[in-house]
Amino acid sequence: MPNILSRDPAFLSRPAPGFNLFQPDGSVKGQHSSAGKSDGASSRKLAHRGTEVFVAVGSEVRWSELGLLRDAGEEAERGHKGTFEPAEGSSAQKAYRVLKTNISRPITHLTVSPSGTYLAILTSHTCHVAILPATSLLRPHETSPLRLKTFQIGPTAHVLEQAPLVSALWHPLSPSGDCLVTITHDACVRLWELDGDNRSSFNEPSLAVDLKKLANATSTQADLSTSKYGTNKGFSPDDVEMQVAAACFGGRGGEDEHGWASMTLWVAMTEGDVYALCPLLPSTWRAPATMLPTLSTSVIEKAKAIRRDAEATEAERRNVDQQSKWLAEVDSQDPRLLPGADEFDTIEVYSRPKQLSAVPKLQGPFQISPEPDFGEITDIHVIAPKIDDEALYDEDNENLDDDDGLSVSIICLATTTNEVHVCLDVNGVEAEWLPSKRSRAITFDDTDDWKELLLFESVDLAQTEDEDDGWPIFTASPTSRYEFFVTHSTGVCSISLQPWITMLEDELANPSDSGAGFRLNIVLDSAHTAVEQIVEAPAVEDTDHKDINAAIAIEEPGFGCLLLTSTNDTPYATILDLNPQTADPYAPDTPVLPAGLLPSPPPRAPYRPAPEFTQPSALPKLLKTAHEKRLLGHTPINGPIRFSPAALQLLTEAHRVMSAETHRLGMAAADLFRRCERMRAELVEQVRKVAEIAQQVDAVTGEDGGEEGEQEHSGREKIDERMERSDRKTVELNRRVETLRKKMALLGGAQLSAKERAFVEEVDRLQASVLPSAERATHTDDDGNDATQQSTKSGGTALASRFAAVQSLQHRLVQQVEETTEGKGDEDASAGAVASTTQGPVAVGGGYRKQKLAQVMALLETETALVEGVMERLKRLQGGA
């Protein structure tokens, strides 16, 4: 959940210049903002381009920027001592700028294109697109309004005689970001590929389809076009059941989403039905890096599975064949490369395949199971499933930056009962097209298009007295797709699906039939959607003039995220920290604060003066009108009043106006009085708690002096005595530890004397010189480098070197004896061998050889006995030590 940094910043509160951004002036006073709101349409009069804010006030569009609003508020407060009365020519006077358009009707919807080039402006029935200049040109260096170049979209399609507009969406896969999709209340979808150099792109859509006709069509040969201007329409039951409430795309065009998601248009009807249109693409579209590999992998696996399945229906086989043809045509194209967001990024642009129809099949209606009890649908929000990394990447090229997500789509439906129903699309939506020709044999599978959505949870946003008085609207979060905001009748709520996303994905990724029901019940019982009230707006009593606009989330580096909405021309905002530090999943629910820090109270919204305190009275206008109409004759208003029917009527009207105004003033004053009383009661309670804590501290430290008859030991003396006892106990423990250490040292034997230590050193030196090379190497590795150096310096004088020389001589002599014995018949060869051994051609007899060999063997036995005796002595010495 996002952390709340502050509520209702000062630069957007009355009477700051930022507050005036939302207030109608004299030119738009007679046009109440709610007058343009039509049935079945949501109010989205706020839009943003980066940190720039666009606000619709009546039929007027205003522009401002967050930094400009903050600077204007600080300058006005600093220069005028909090009066917020801007001086002539100051920046506080230029907090916003008016953008003039050719629109005369009240505006209900604003949306900025992803490229930032166009601003779509919707009224109840018409749609206009304005070309936005650069930010530097919009900065209010002068107070005069700036007129924008504006085009009307569909001069014959979106007019007063046609159905009202419901939504205007920018296609997420448009290469230029300037492809607009409009949806009307009568279920007509039109796709406009806007081009500033081509005026006809604003007049005629590149693709138009009537969903009512598409729902009943059986082939692409049917007439699916929208009705033309001036044609008469016949009655159809679909006119009631297929009234569009809202629409949205299934993805944002990101690389971490499934391929079909961003090209799927979801449409929600007011009666509760949900439909999907996939793929809906412009004539040229961009493909993220993971889209085509993901689609190819899924289509190939599905085709293999259907070929092996003997029970697969004809419709399933046809869908797989169509998807394979569509992908094959896309793969055969040579994509056009365009520069991306940065200089190192490129975008691959493809053309829409022509082998299949540009109008896909209408999938649905989706049946929600179990079916909830809800009113009319007001808005829809779809979260795309994540890509399958295991199928897309090899083990060596694993995507390490992949975040946790859900492999199924999440469809959220908002209703007039201020509830949000979270549903799961377990089967998924893939591309489907109508057959090219109508089949004569119609089977059950071809006519049954009902699909299912699994209802996971229903979230109640606000408890209101009226059951159907809300109109919740979704706003996507700029940081996480599993968090979003919902604007309803009492403010804005933040909804996070993170608490159960990971648990559900673990169950879906590792399916097991055994115990599946038990595990799913645990997930459903333990995992709940996190809901938090972010923006609090007072409830509007006059529901006829209630105008609640969808919130917008504006990110600014170093500032946080500003969540901004407005109700009846009054802004409400909250500054959020959408990137809190990631907490340890095993950390306790209650965080442990560092020593010396107290938990800070939650930020509370400052008091907003009621608008009744600033609204001008209607009595002067009434009296002025009476004077102009001469209801009192020629008698001045401030003079003596003559009793007449006209004077009585004027007094009655004045009493009616004054009674209504004084009643509203009294209610506002009563609310202020109640707030003051609550603050005073809270302050008294805080003072009482502080006094109790101070009394407890004084009782512990003894500053209170104690009660009568208990003055012998004060609290401070008790603390000092306890500290002294602790010190004495510490000293006693240290003494006992030292005694135990000495006893443990004595258990290892008595300490050696100087002579004994010298004898041990001598034994070590003798051992280093006597032991063979391998044993000596082991000894030196354990004891250090000194013994190794000593053994190396001794060289051939050591006993070990002499022993090694004797062994070498023995080996050589034994070998010679064996050779002499084998060559006993050849005296010349034997003599040559002996001569080579003695380094001279001397002839030796057999008796002499035997004598020398006996001497050598005796010498070897002597050396061996000597070495063994020394080694036994060393072992005894080591055992005695």
**Do 375 and 523 belong together in one domain?**
yes
In this prediction, residue 841 carries a pLDDT of 44
**Do 266 and 144 belong together in one domain?**
no
Give the lowest-confidence range in 355-364, 592-601, 637-646, 869-878.
Answer: 592-601
367: pLDDT confidence band, cut at 50, 70 and 90? Answer: confident
Q: What sign does the CA torsion over 627, 631, 633, 639 have?
A: negative
240: pLDDT confidence band, cut at 50, 70 and 90? Answer: confident
In this prediction, residue 651 carries a pLDDT of 81
| Mean pLDDT value of segment 790-809 | 62
Assigned domain for 619 exists: no
**Do 161 and 149 belong together in one domain?**
no
Please tell me the number of Cα atoms within 13 Å of 284 on its side-chain side.
15
Q: How far apart are the first and last CA of the chain?
A: 71
**Do 134 and 178 belong together in one domain?**
no
Assigned domain for 422 exists: yes
In this prediction, residue 88 carries a pLDDT of 47
Chain-centre distance for alpha carbon 868:
79
**Do 390 and 444 belong together in one domain?**
yes
CB contact at 8 A, 808 and 777: no
Residue position matching structure tokens 């039929």: 59
Instruction: Tell me the C-alpha distance between 110 and 100, whole Å.
Output: 14
Q: What is the mean pLDDT of the chain?
A: 78
In this prediction, residue 767 carries a pLDDT of 74
586: pLDDT confidence band, cut at 50, 70 and 90? Answer: very low
pLDDT tens column, 552-562:
999 887 777 88
**Do 115 and 216 belong together in one domain?**
no
Question: Looking at per-residue confidence, does 392 or 228 come out higher?
Answer: 228
Last residue in a domain, options 153, 173, 196? 153
Three-state secondary structure call for residue 278? coil
Last residue in a domain, options 674, 701, 727? 674
**Do 353 and 396 belong together in one domain?**
yes
Assigned domain for 710 exists: no
Please count the structural domains in the chain: 4
In this prediction, residue 89 carries a pLDDT of 46
Among 231, 259, 232, 263, which Cα is nearest to 250's? 263
Instruction: Tell whether omega for the bond before 15 is within 30 degrees of 0, i.e. cis.
Output: yes
Token couple for 193: 């590929």
Last residue in a domain, options 622, 646, 674? 674
855: pLDDT confidence band, cut at 50, 70 and 90? Answer: confident
In this prediction, residue 846 carries a pLDDT of 64
* DSSP symbol at 353: P
In this prediction, residue 628 carries a pLDDT of 66
Q: What percent of the chain has pLDDT over 70?
A: 73
* DSSP symbol at 187: S
In this prediction, residue 42 carries a pLDDT of 61
Strands 244-249 and 109-112: unpaired
**Do 121 and 229 belong together in one domain?**
no
Cβ count within 10 A of residue 546: 18
In this prediction, residue 30 carries a pLDDT of 40
Range of the domain at 782: 754-880
In this prediction, residue 431 carries a pLDDT of 92
Assigned domain for 101 exists: yes
Residue 364: left if φ>0, alpha if ψ -120 to 50, beta else—which one?
left
Instruction: Tell me the C-alpha distance between 203 and 731, whole Å.
Output: 95
| Mean pLDDT value of segment 638-643 | 67
**Do 222 and 312 belong together in one domain?**
yes
In this prediction, residue 422 carries a pLDDT of 92
Most confident of 305-319, 350-364, 538-552, 697-711: 350-364
**Do 340 and 473 belong together in one domain?**
yes
| Mean pLDDT value of segment 39-55 | 81
In this prediction, residue 829 carries a pLDDT of 46
pLDDT tens column, 126-146:
999 999 998 888 876 666 788
In this prediction, residue 23 carries a pLDDT of 84
Three-state secondary structure call for residue 266? strand
> Is the confidence at residue 761, as pLDDT, over 80?
yes
In this prediction, residue 751 carries a pLDDT of 66
**Do 485 and 390 belong together in one domain?**
yes
In this prediction, residue 110 carries a pLDDT of 94
| Mean pLDDT value of segment 50-55 | 92
* Beta-sheet strand order (sheet of 491-496): 473-476, 483-488, 491-496, 530-536
> Is the confidence at residue 486, as pLDDT, over 90?
yes
DSSP string, 130-149: EE---HHHHS-SSSS-EEPP
| Mean pLDDT value of segment 213-242 | 75
CB-count exposure of residue 404 (10 Å: 0-12, 13-18, 19+): exposed
Token couple for 306: 């259907």
Assigned domain for 244 exists: yes
Token couple for 748: 């290892």
Question: Looking at per-residue confidence, does 115 or 790 come out higher?
Answer: 115
| Mean pLDDT value of segment 151-163 | 87
pLDDT tens column, 813-850:
888 887 777 765 555 544 444 444 444 444 455 677 78
Assigned domain for 112 exists: yes
**Do 401 and 284 belong together in one domain?**
yes
Q: What is the CA radius of gyration of the chain?
A: 46
Instruction: Tell me the C-alpha distance between 52 and 137, whole Å.
Output: 13
Three-state secondary structure call for residue 400? coil
Assigned domain for 182 exists: yes
Q: What percent of the chain has pLDDT over 90?
A: 22
Question: Looking at per-residue confidence, does 301 or 713 come out higher?
Answer: 301
Assigned domain for 738 exists: no
| Mean pLDDT value of segment 655-660 | 87
Task: Say which amino acid occupies 649.
Answer: Q
In this prediction, residue 209 carries a pLDDT of 93
Give the lowest-confidence range in 59-68, 236-245, 497-506.
Answer: 236-245
Question: Looking at per-residue confidence, does 719 or 654 come out higher?
Answer: 654
Give the lowest-confidence range in 26-40, 76-90, 172-186, 318-332.
Answer: 26-40
| Mean pLDDT value of segment 468-481 | 83
